[in-house]
Amino acid sequence: MSTLALTDGAVTGGVIVVGLSFNPNKASALTIESGTLTLDTRTLLAQLKELGATGKHDEIIKIPGTRTKLIVFTGLGQMQKVYAHETLRRAAGAAARALAGSDEATFALPTANIEAVAAIAEGAALGAYAFDEFRGSTKSERKLPLAKIAIHSKFSKKIEAKNALKRAQIIAKYTHLVRDLINTPPSHLTPDTFTKKIAAVVKSAGGASAGLKVSVLNEKQLKSGGYGGIIGVGQGSANPPRLLHITYTPEKSLRKFAFVGKGITFDTGGLALKPAAGMEAMKSDMSGAAAVCGAILAIASLKLPVSIEAWAPLAENMVSDNATRPSDVITIYGGKTVEVLNPDAEGRLVLADALVKAQETKSLDGLVDVATLTGAQVVALGTRTSAVMTNNEAFSAQLLSAATDSGEAFWPMPLPQELRASLDSPVADLANIGERMGGMLVAGLFLKDFVKPEVPWLHLDIAGPAYNESGAHGYTPVGGTGVALRTLLRLVENSIIR
Ligand code: BES
Ligand code: MN
Ligand code: ZN
């Protein structure tokens, strides 16, 4: 983990990061945006022009400094009077990535307010990430993430800025945990080891003294407890399933939310075996579970006065003589039966158990599930925008506003009633697949069947955004991204000021 600090002083020696923007109306008109730090911009602009700088997003240009060792220019895109927080977050993240191997850097970017300081701190800390745990002979060649990050602004003495930094540090710490879990290969992350890793993190976060409790149901308890979805999906694997439950109980509680995250540690598709090409990405099929665990830990670390229950149904969807067959009927926790027409539609089965269980908690202000649920999500919204589905428009509006605040892209999707009939089964209460067109919505409608209409519920399909299979950009690395944690945190924070 890199450390974060505030500064307003002169920078001598070391590395500074400043912004670079362009004016679309004037050819090659660049502006250096260094916030509260004054620079000799005339010489620098001449050098930048020589280097062909554009100021576009994700452009990084390094120039040796005179008073400092190095000046790093990070693209802010089109020049603005006030830059969007997400623009600053991404620009800081891109610079932090480009500074892997460096010991320290001072980020001098435009900071109109403390939220801007927060965004730069978050972006830089999120960009300073590496996953090298499974390297052997090549490990020593790898650059370490940028170690020390200082944010330059006029707010450095303000308590609000210090709090913003603390929050950014917590966000980065637990987003890195989420990314690590996603990137960990299924050889090393099974349902059992997932629960053990989380239990260890909860312990180091203070455990009971921080209001946190962990409990785990094993395969025997799941079977006798009637969790037919988790058992049905997990029974084909030598690594048996688990149901992980974390509670955060603050001293004073103003709201109560439950989070449920899909935790398929590997999704082969089961007997509906997926094609080999691209199957490796299915190690990320536990991203929802990781995100809800990261979110509850961040919320607890910030000591927010909101009770949270996080549920992670964990299973490995494998092929074996014991795997669930197409046409098998399973009984979800609570008694509804499901005909498993396609064992690759497994996420909704484990989520159904956990959603029903989560609703045993009375007077929830909201229930949110997070899942890499459908390929149709990626087809509909691409790889960087997640979907929100709901039974409660007001709750969905709160989620979308929290997403905007946090800088994560979410978009509302409908749950059209006419598609529900396609989930009818000739033998069971419902089938696990229906109409192919609108597959993301059909999956949402399946889950809705397990949610009481009076419970405000959100379904977040993060199938595309959870795992970055193309190049790194902004503060987003290749591999696990950690998406949904910041939006869940913001949703909870906003719920107490509303
Ligand atoms: N884990 C997949 C969904 C997925 C696809 C996540 C691509 C991330 C990237 C899920 O379990 C799945 O296999 N869904 C099927 C459902 C279908 C059988 C109705 C799908 O989307 O093809
Ligand atoms: Mn699947
Ligand atoms: Zn899956």
Mean pLDDT of 133-152: 97
Per the structure, the count of domains in the chain is: 2
Q: No. of H helices and E strands in the chain?
A: 13, 21
Of the residues 128, 155, 182, the one at which a domain ends: 155
Q: Which residues contact 184 (CB under 8 A, 6 or more apart)?
A: 133, 134, 283
Of the residues 100, 123, 155, the one at which a domain ends: 155
> What are the tens digits of pLDDT across the range 253-299?
999 999 999 999 999 999 999 999 999 999 999 999 999 999 999 99
| Mean of per-residue pLDDT scores for the chain | 98
Nearest one of 348, 337, 295 to 426, comparing CA atoms: 337
> Residue 375 CA: which ligand is closest?
1
Residues 102 and 189 in one domain: no
Q: Which residues contact 29 (CB under 8 A, 6 or more apart)?
A: 22, 23
Q: Whose CA is nearest to atom 3 of ligand 1?
A: 374
In-domain check, residue 166: no
Any ligand 1 atom below 6 A from CB of 375: yes
In-domain check, residue 123: yes
Rounded CA-CA distance 163/159 in Å is 6
In-domain check, residue 60: yes
> Residue 340 CA: which ligand is closest?
1
Any ligand 1 atom below 6 A from CB of 461: no
Question: Is 192 annotated for ligand binding?
Answer: no
Percent of the chain residues topping a pLDDT of 70: 100
Residues 443 and 332 in one domain: yes
Residues 118 and 246 in one domain: no
Residues 107 and 211 in one domain: no
In-domain check, residue 167: no
Residue with tokens 């000591």: 303
> What are the tens digits of pLDDT across the range 288-333?
999 999 999 999 999 999 999 999 999 999 999 999 999 999 999 9
CATH code of the domain covering residue 484: 3.40.630.10
Residues 116 and 190 in one domain: no
In-domain check, residue 161: no
Which residues have a beta carbon within 5 Å of ligand 3, which is an ion? 264, 267, 285, 347
Structural contact between residues 128 and 144, judged by C-beta atoms closer than 8 angstroms: no
Residues 112 and 202 in one domain: no
Of the residues 122, 155, 188, the one at which a domain ends: 155
Any ligand 1 atom below 6 A from CB of 347: yes
Distance 269 CA to ligand 2 centre (A): 5
The answer to whether residue 13 scores a pLDDT higher than 90 is no
In-domain check, residue 160: no
Question: Is 344 annotated for ligand binding?
Answer: yes
DSSP state of 278: T
Most informative mutation of 344, 349, 436, 483 for ligand 1 (most atoms within 8 A of CB): 344
Compute the Cα dihedral for 395, 401, 407, 412 and give only its sign.
positive
Check residue 365 and give its pLDDT: 98
Percent of the chain residues topping a pLDDT of 90: 97
> What are the tens digits of pLDDT across the range 361-375?
999 999 999 999 999
Any ligand 1 atom below 6 A from CB of 175: no
Check residue 294 and give its pLDDT: 99
In-domain check, residue 46: yes
Rounded CA-CA distance 423/420 in Å is 6
Question: Is 285 annotated for ligand binding?
Answer: yes
> Residue 432 CA: which ligand is closest?
1
Residues 137 and 220 in one domain: no
CATH code of the domain covering residue 102: 3.40.220.10
The answer to whether residue 498 scores a pLDDT higher than 80 is no
Report CA-CA distances (Å) from 485 to 237, 386, 423, 425.
29, 13, 31, 36
In-domain check, residue 163: no
The answer to whether residue 80 scores a pLDDT higher than 70 is yes
> What are the tens digits of pLDDT across the range 328-385?
999 999 999 999 999 999 999 999 999 999 999 999 999 999 999 999 999 999 999 9
DSSP state of 153: S
Any ligand 1 atom below 6 A from CB of 371: no
The answer to whether residue 240 scores a pLDDT higher than 70 is yes
Residues 243 and 128 in one domain: no
Structural domain for 23, as ranges = 3-155
Q: In ligand 1, which atom is closest to the CA atom of 346?
A: 11
Distance 414 CA to ligand 3 centre (A): 21
Q: In ligand 1, which atom is closest to the CA atom of 439?
A: 19
Question: Is 346 annotated for ligand binding?
Answer: yes
The answer to whether residue 27 scores a pLDDT higher than 80 is no
Task: Enter the tokens of residue 186.
Answer: 């299924």
Structural contact between residues 317 and 280, judged by C-beta atoms closer than 8 angstroms: no
Question: Is 429 annotated for ligand binding?
Answer: no
Residues annotated as catalytic are 274, 348
Distance 148 CA to ligand 1 centre (A): 40
Distance 327 CA to ligand 2 centre (A): 16
Distance 101 CA to ligand 1 centre (A): 37
Residues 145 and 200 in one domain: no
Residues 435 and 362 in one domain: yes
Residues 128 and 40 in one domain: yes
Residues 264 and 349 in one domain: yes
